[in-house]
Amino acid sequence: MTHSELEFTGNRPLSNAKLGVLILLGAETMLFAGLIGTFLVFRMGSDLWPPLSHANIQLPRLVTGINTALLIISGYTMYLSLRAIQNDKVKQLRHYLIFTGTLGLLFLIIQGSEWIQLIGKGLTLQSGIYGGIFYVLIGCHAVHVLGAVIWLIIVIGKAIAGRFSVDRYIGVETCTIYWIYVVALWPVLYFLVYFA
Amino acid sequence: MFRQIVLWVLVIGFVGLLFPLIVDACPNCKNLDEPIARGFNWSILFMMAMPFTVVGVIGGSIFYQFQRANRNLKV
């Protein structure tokens, strides 16, 4: 079979859906690059960080570190779910997907509870540059995790309905790419915002 | 007429290059020792690198996928 025949049969090396997700991730990367660039300006532009107005606020590094570990594990289980369907193990696929979704939800719940505590201590979106850049950067990532969880719930629904097989799993594959992107982005933001 | 405009633009541009202080328009880049200027500098460098990174990763990924498909075909 020649290369053009391969494309003609629809068995392309790179599907349209996968290419679409890659382009989406390119746009997402530019968005986060802009936000990280803004953070760098504020962070490097200040001798004191957090600024004096927020000197009493300590970001919860330990809890967020544990949360980071949870998210990284979810990235691995998502990868395992893709491997499961590639090996025609549909039952294993469902289990891994549900486990991944649970970890994603847990991440959001822990982060939400952290935010409630920080707001209680006076760190809000309007409290200054520190609060503003913290909530915009971390919040933007949280919205992406939420989007990924919603996408994953749809994929779980389809997996339970038996819509995926060893020959047809593009839905799982695209969701895995997006999930792993969101997971890989988090440690960068975590070390930048919580330790810089 | 058009050629004359282009010529004048080139001449003015060249003369401008001879006097760099005149085109030093960004107040943040003048004093690079100041923290805010350093912040802007790193931010600009970081964001400048991003389009190349994005295109490189997406292009590399597409290239890898096609290479793998070709390899599988040969096998």
Q: Which structural domain range is residue B69 located in? A: 2-74
Say yes or no to pLDDT of B72 above 70.
Answer: yes
In a domain, A112, yes or no: yes
- The total of structural domains in chain A comes to 1
Mean pLDDT of A133-160: 96
Q: Which structural domain range is residue A118 located in? A: 61-196
B chain contacts of residue A3, beta-carbon cutoff 8 Å? 69-70, 73
Cα nearest neighbour of B51 on chain A: A30
The predicted structure's pLDDT at residue A3: 47
Cα distances from A8 to residues A2, A167, B66, in angstroms, run: 10, 17, 15
Question: A55: pLDDT confidence band, cut at 50, 70 and 90?
Answer: confident
Q: Write down the ipTM of this complex.
A: 0.75
Most confident of A32-46, A174-188, B1-15: A174-188
In a domain, A140, yes or no: yes
Say yes or no to pLDDT of A196 above 70.
Answer: yes
Taking only residues 1 to 40 of chain A, the set having a beta carbon closer than 8 angstroms to any beta carbon of chain B reads 1, 3, 6, 13-14, 19, 22-23, 25-26, 29-30, 33-34, 36-38, 40
The predicted structure's pLDDT at residue B42: 87
A chain contacts of residue B38, beta-carbon cutoff 8 Å? 44-45
In a domain, A40, yes or no: no
Mean pLDDT of B56-75: 88
Task: Find the CATH number of the domain harbouring A73.
Answer: 1.20.120.80
Mean pLDDT of A139-156: 97
Structure tokens at B41: 């500098």
- The total of structural domains in chain B comes to 1
Inter-chain CB proximity A26 and B54 less than 8 Å: yes
Residue A71 CA to residue A29 CA, distance in Å, equals 19
Cα nearest neighbour of A16 on chain B: B62
Q: Is the Cα dihedral B42, B45, B50, B56 positive or negative?
A: negative
